[in-house]
């Protein structure tokens, strides 16, 4: 029983730490705007939130910087239907977030 509790706590701490690393910050905004000129911190945060809620149910959240924008485009074409992200607004927010922080 202790092992299950300890394992669960470690998992929760790791998830929380990963979320803090992936969430866009004000310090990142100038670099994000070089890749996606009209992005705001609010828009990036909305994209991150949708990405987190739609994608973390099936696998770990990948940092946007793990792929180039072109790689993300290929991944998202396959993943949007699986994650049931059908509306263009949500798709656009996720794309902008990932592109802005991509390699």
Q: How far apart are CA 16 and CA 27, in angstroms?
A: 20
Predicted confidence (pLDDT) at residue 1 exceeds the cutoff of 70: no
Share of the chain above pLDDT 70, in %: 81
Predicted confidence (pLDDT) at residue 65 exceeds the cutoff of 80: yes
**How far, CA to CA in Å, does 96 sit from each of 4, 12, 22, 54, 68?**
38, 28, 14, 15, 12
């Amino acid at each position: 029983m202790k092992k299950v509790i300890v394992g669960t706590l470690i998992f929760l701490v790791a998830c929380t730490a990963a979320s803090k690393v992936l969430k866009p910050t004000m310090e990142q905004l100038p670099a994000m705007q070089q890749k996606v000129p009209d992005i705001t911190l609010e828009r990036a945060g909305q994209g991150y939130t949708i990405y987190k809620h739609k994608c973390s149910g099936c696998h770990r959240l990948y940092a946007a910087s793990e792929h180039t924008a072109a790689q993300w485009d290929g991944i998202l074409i396959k993943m949007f239907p699986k994650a049931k992200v059908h509306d263009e607004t949500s798709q656009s927010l996720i794309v902008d977030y990932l592109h802005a922080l991509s390699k």
